[in-house]
Structure 1
């Protein structure tokens, strides 16, 4: 299946699709290699077998008003609905309104040089915050950013917080038809072009020189697919995959190797993430006066400390989220044990025995992103002192290799779908500029 084209794109996630779409519309012949059997990457939507409700195994929320993403949603004819952003908090055995417990966000966003781990920043504010605020700040950094506070960069998180505020804050919305529908215009446009999107195509070696690239690929089962030759390549693989070493599944070997990129990747991390999706016989949280108003439920200190409903969709699902050290610990457990711990957390939140929750439970699904060989985690985490490593990762190599993906966004939108889309468009501009 040898193939020749102008540009080969590694990865059909949001950034890869955006880059390929822009290059193809500019008249270039593009080949996109995607290891999975589907497009989207960390946008992974499935639908409930009973009523078709879209369920997001990966990216779920639209934060603020990112123009590049909302423009694509309008192009797709997708309706975006505002989530119920009212938060309940379990503290010292009592569930109560918790919106005011996020006052620490201003201090996170105001962090100034020198860069230091978030744990040091938390210690500096120990006298300013209550015990609850300090606990919530730690839980927020570990959950929302999938980071370990002992290593995560306070300056990187401050930059992301400020970027979110400039986009309209972190109040979330969702695609009512599913996140995958947002990317459909990009997929449709590429599918109309023969021999452009290649699924079950795992890039295993990129041999490059200023004269061009040769990408050797195989199927996930190990069957050789031949060589894809192009003048240039756009690499949109996640940090977790780029850090993997052959013969690990999904690992890519660059020949000659890229020492600057390798050093940058060694300084970055892939944040652990896990989601648990539970469907109950009825939405009992909406049937109770004390929990009806809330769309988010927080239990700091628990293995799955954050839960939410699918509002504004009417649904019988609760979604649990764990990031950072908690997600890493859960990854070592069997799925049945993850379910048990999930129900124990919900039992504490809603004052229900685990057996009663089991009786109400109809279906459950655990999505462990650490076990996805073509992702190896949630999204990029920047340790203290490593902000400049992202700039090195994003830099083109000899007008031949170009890099995109959420980890290469340099203005604070890393870890987001709209950030990934923006980097794909940026890489396409760089290619076309050559």
Structure 2
């Protein structure tokens, strides 16, 4: 059953309202999931992991990982085409023709599709012949919405310029409209990252300036300071609305009741010609992570190489 059904069945009474609210906030905020869709069993298994590794982020950002992988493939003679938006894939066993919106086409024996699952759910890429079972499987994987707020300030105002100062702040969880914020510690750059996930992010249909105002009002509430102070301190800002990004159509995946079967389908190549990978089709304990995407991509690449070797031998 879904987590929403589970809570309604077993924790429906008023004495459990605080518990339901806590679960809802965490699942929507952290998993970017909809309680009416997310699998209760999947959430239970995720939260039961005893050996969950410490959360880490690379100093200097994930761009270094992209640069490292790019250097490796260039050394192997790979050609990289940027700003080439794939719109259609025509295929037959052992041959694909990939068409882009700028009118170019590329031929190959096999194709590995690594787009976010939201792109497949919105059918931004079409196939001839059609592969309806695979596109239906993609739609049976949950894919949450997230809006990320990046606000750089002149100073770490939250330490000394507010009524409720906070020192050595890592994560701040609140009941504000934009509830979750974190700093760059141990880096002392005065940058706050705000996070709004799940249905709340999907329902926020405003422009960037309006979302900035909402973020400043949330910080004003959290730290008990004026919005004017925050505007005076604000140096740069950027808001990433992943649900409205045409190359993502969302943030990261979560498991619905149908997801195990959907992942099984997507991890099965189409006639040893079309392969899928990405964090959404990864089957393991680290759903929705960079690690999941890397593992899935590596497994798909191994399948392709094995199939290619068999083709050569035959």
Deviation at 1:130, TM superposition (A): 6.2
Unaligned runs of 5+ in 1: 1-115, 246-250
Matched, 1:148 2:34: yes
Deviation at 1:127, TM superposition (A): 7.0
Q: 1:430 pairs with 286, 297, 303, which one?
A: 303
For residue 110 of structure 2, give the secondary structure of its aligned residue in structure 1.
strand
Deviation at 1:207, TM superposition (A): 1.3
Residue 362 of structure 1: aligned partner: 235
Provide the aligned C-alpha RMSD in A.
2.1
Equivalent pairs counted in the alignment come to: 304
Residue 103 of structure 2: aligned partner: 224
Deviation at 1:299, TM superposition (A): 1.5
CA distance in 2, matches of 1:277, 1:182: 21
* Higher share in strand: 1
* Higher share in helix: 2
Matches of residues 175-324 of structure 1 in structure 2 within 5 Å? 175-194=58-77, 196-218=79-101, 223-225=102-104, 227-245=105-123, 251-287=124-160, 290-300=165-175, 302-324=176-198
Q: Are 1:304 and 1:326, in contact at CA under 8 Å, matched by a contact in 2?
A: no
CA distance in 1, matches of 2:234, 2:15: 38
Residue 64 of structure 1: aligned partner: none
Instruction: Choose 398-407 or 193-202, whichever is displaced more.
Output: 193-202
Deviation at 1:199, TM superposition (A): 0.4
Q: Deviations over 1:363-388 (max 9, x none)?
A: 21111111211111101233234332
Q: Are 1:405 and 1:420, in contact at CA under 8 Å, matched by a contact in 2?
A: yes
Matched, 1:157 2:31: no
Deviation at 1:156, TM superposition (A): 2.2
Residue 203 of structure 2: aligned partner: 329
Deviation at 1:390, TM superposition (A): 1.8
For residue 173 of structure 1, give the secondary structure of its aligned residue in structure 2.
coil
Q: Are 2:168 and 2:185, in contact at CA under 8 Å, matched by a contact in 1?
A: no
CA distance in 1, matches of 2:15, 2:79: 54
Matched, 1:119 2:4: yes
> Aligned pair in 2 of structure 1 residues 340, 147: CA closer, same or farther (>3 Å)?
same
Using CA pairs under 8 Å that are at least 6 residues apart, name the structure with larger relative contact order, 1 or 2: 1
Residue 312 of structure 2: aligned partner: none
Q: Deviations over 1:149-185 (max 9, x none)?
A: 122111222333345x4342xx422111211113322
Q: Are 1:162 and 1:412, in contact at CA under 8 Å, matched by a contact in 2?
A: no
> Aligned pair in 2 of structure 1 residues 182, 142: CA closer, same or farther (>3 Å)?
same
Deviation at 1:392, TM superposition (A): 1.4
Deviation at 1:129, TM superposition (A): 8.2
CA distance in 2, matches of 1:136, 1:311: 26
